[in-house]
Each structure stands twice: as C-alpha cells, then as structure tokens.
Amino acid sequence: MTPTLLLAANLWSAAPTAVAPFHPSVRIFGRFDSTAKGAELSWSGGGFQVAFEGASCKVRLSSSGAILGVSVDNIRRPDLDLVAPVQDTLVEVASGLGKGRHVVELAKKTEAMVGSVVLKEILVDGKPSTPPPAKNRRIEFLGNSITCGYGILDSVKEHGFSPKTQDFFATFAALAAQNLRADAHAVCYSGKGLARNYDRSSSETVPTLFRRAVLSADARPWNHSRWKPDVVVVDLGTNDFATAPAPDSAKWESSWMDFLLRIREGYGDLPIVLANGPMLSDHWPQDAAGKPVPSLTKVRGHLRNVAKAARQKGFASVSVLDLSPNSADRGYGADWHPNRAQAALNASELTDHLKKTMSW
C-alpha cells in the first residue's frame, strides 16, 4: 500500500460513527419523550446506555439544567455538570479505552425541577454493539423530594436546595431497586403532594405528573404500555401535611383512591405500596394556637384506611410501609431531608417489604 493510501485508510478508520438515540446499541431507561430533537428525559434517574467497540465516546446534548452521573464499564467517572443550560453541545465522556466492547452510561442525578436533557446523538470511534439487557424486575417510584434525593449529599440541615447535593441514586428508592436487582422508573418532584403541594396549591400534583412522559405539559402523554412495572411504590403525604390545618380526612382519602384507580388504569391491577415518612412528624406543623399537628400518626391512619378500601374495591394488593422517621442520631441532609444514612435504613426497610410482598 502506498503512503498516501495508508494515510487515507487511517483517516477513514478514525472517522467517528454516529449513533442515533434510538439505535439498537442504545438502551434508554426512565420515561422519555421522542421528538425531532432526540430523546428528552426529565425525571430523576432517567438516562441511557450505549455499547460499542472502540476507544472513545462523545454525546451531543441539550439541557435546560441537570447533573448526570457517568460510568464507563460500571466504573464511576466524574459527573457531567450541565446545571448551566447548554444547546447542541458535544461532550467527550470516555477516551483512551482498551480494545473490546465498552458500555457508557449517563443518568440524571437531579430532578425535573432543575431541568431536562435531550440526547441528540452519540459518536463512537468504533462500531456499535449490543447494550446490557434490562433487568427482570421493575419498580416505579412516585413521590416528592424524598424520592428525588433533595439535599441527600449534604450534612447541614440549615442548608437550602442545591443541585450539587441532590442525587436520586443515593435515595431509599434507588438503593432498594439496586438491592433487589430491579430496574427503576421515577416520577417525583420536590414540594409536590397527592392533593396539596408544599405551597398549598393544588395544581401540578403528582397524580397529574403521573400521566406525563416528561415534565412539560405540552409534551405527549406517557404511554404506560411502553414500560409496565411489577410494583409501584408511592411516598406522598409529607407536603400535603406540611402546613396547618391538615387536609380534610375524607377528601384526602378520596384523592388517594382516585390516584390508585389512575395507576390501575395505566398498568392494570398490580401491587402498590403506600410508604410514609421519613420527614413526617407528630411534632410538626403547628396550628394557629401553636399546638403540634400529629401528621405522622394521621398519615399512617389514612393510608391504612385507603389500603383497606382499595382491597374492598378489588385491588389485588395495596400494602402500607411505615418507614423509620428521620433521627438526629443519623443526622440530616439539607432542609431536614434524609441523608445517606437515613436513606440506607429506609432502603433496607423497603427491600424487606418488597421481598415479602413480591416473593422476591
């Protein structure tokens, strides 16, 4: 071969291979919306894996704000910080890899409140391969800031929210899914409730968000047949009961039944776990007279009433899980949220509950 032809061959072999977001070598996890721009991901824990044979990988993204966890061949790499919005930006996430098949994974540590990510294209310097298969077990988590991992990486309860101290993968939800070798979807948003949000508004509650593929109300609804969980775990009530007076008991329980019916409409009759805590307390909030409202006791009683009513309406399995409340002994995350130690305890409790109720 002449030097000119050799140089041309080397240039040809080095040309990157463009991989579309929905190529067979890519596995998207979490809810997403397929648009002309690419695959949009809003919810905590959503992301993608790409498998290829080559030495490097770049991704073309747009983001309105997010922090993505990055791993290469199951080894954590530095996070990709996109809190400052970017448009159509090419980012190298792996380079200098050895020969053979590699798997690169990017996943949202931050919640939809921080922003969404649009995967537009992946560039690898080799040929696409087959991504790892999905796990055999599936759990969907519906919740609030506790499920999102608000402040979980912090250790000062007086601190406020920061995307840098949020991590879905450190939460009780993600840890329990990991313990059970299950894939997880999450629809969660800080400050949201079942019928009443932290700011006492009643719009954009979690039952409303449950219908969506991504946060935007203008996006297409989520097609629930696309991914059917084996069990749904719901942790709601903390924001509904965050301020006094407490919600009307009958109306709140009725809202729960409406939500359970909505879940059954989407997925059929599958097991549902109603979790409570760990931020609920019988010492907060206080009413106008300064008397504590026993929110923890109230919510636990309501959930047991709801589970009983659901069984009477023919639901196959609706169970209640009392998660251990936050404790000064374990410390706190930002704004009194669970820290890693609290999340690990609650993950163990949820793991045990699901092993029993699901025979896992």
Predicted confidence (pLDDT) per residue in 283-324, tens digit: 999 999 999 999 999 999 999 999 999 999 999 999 999 999
Give the integer Cα–Cα distance in Å for 268 and 279: 31
Identify the pLDDT of residue 4: 37
Identify the pLDDT of residue 15: 82
Confidence of residue 2 (pLDDT cuts 50, 70, 90): very low
Q: Write out the two tokens for 94.
A: 């792996």
When pLDDT is averaged across residues 182-187 and rounded to a whole number, the result is 98
Identify the pLDDT of residue 11: 41
**Domains detected in the chain:** 13-128 (2.60.120.260), 137-358 (3.40.50.1110)
Q: Is 254 left (phi over 0), alpha (psi -120 to 50) or beta?
A: alpha
| Alpha carbon separation from 353 to 142, 256, 333 (Å, rounded) | 17, 21, 25
Name every residue whose Cβ is closer than 8 Å to that of residue 217 and which is 6 or more positions away in sequence: none
Identify the pLDDT of residue 36: 87
Residue type, 152: I
pTM for the predicted model, two decimal places: 0.95
How do residues 40-74 score in pLDDT, each as one tens digit?
Answer: 999 999 999 999 999 999 999 999 999 999 999 99
Q: Which residue has the tokens 């798997």?
A: 103
Give the integer Cα–Cα distance in Å for 46 and 187: 10
Averaged pLDDT score across all residues of the chain: 95
When pLDDT is averaged across residues 27-35 and rounded to a whole number, the result is 96
Does residue 6 register a pLDDT over 50? no
How do residues 100-152 score in pLDDT, each as one tens digit?
Answer: 999 999 999 999 999 999 999 999 999 999 999 999 999 999 999 999 999 99
**Strands 137-143 vs 26-29: parallel, antiparallel or unpaired:** unpaired
Give the integer Cα–Cα distance in Å for 28 and 50: 9
Q: Dihedrals φ, ψ of 18, to 5°?
A: -85, 130
Give the integer Cα–Cα distance in Å for 290 and 195: 24
